[in-house]
Amino acid sequence: MSRAMPRASTPRGGWRHGVEVTLRTLSAVAGGYLLAHAFSALSASVLPFARPDRVVAGALLAFPVWCAAAVYAFAARDWKRAVGLPLLLALAMLGLAALLAPQALRP
């Protein structure tokens, strides 16, 4: 009797898995940056501080937002959610920041 050798399979779907990891990485880096920028712009408009303090506080608070977006990019169920949700949130925040731009100019 001859034993059949098990076929070597590629882990988790081969090239598709690589493309998904690449998309999630791009979402973590670029999407997280866009989301952090949008959060910083929005918080510079709505925080109740003086203008320089609002800008600094928004920039400092944007770093945890970027980290949370990176964690979410790899925790999402599929790559569509990993890419779509940060992009959607960033566009919504940028829209709100654009609407509140006159308020951001207050001293």
Question: What's the confidence (pLDDT) of residue 92?
Answer: 97
pTM of the predicted protein model: 0.81
What is the pLDDT at residue 107?
A: 74
Q: Would you state the pLDDT for residue 86?
A: 95
Cα 25 off chain centre by: 10
* Mean pLDDT value across residues 16-40: 94
pLDDT digit string (tens) for 38-90?
Answer: 999 999 889 989 989 999 999 999 999 999 999 999 999 999 999 999 999 99
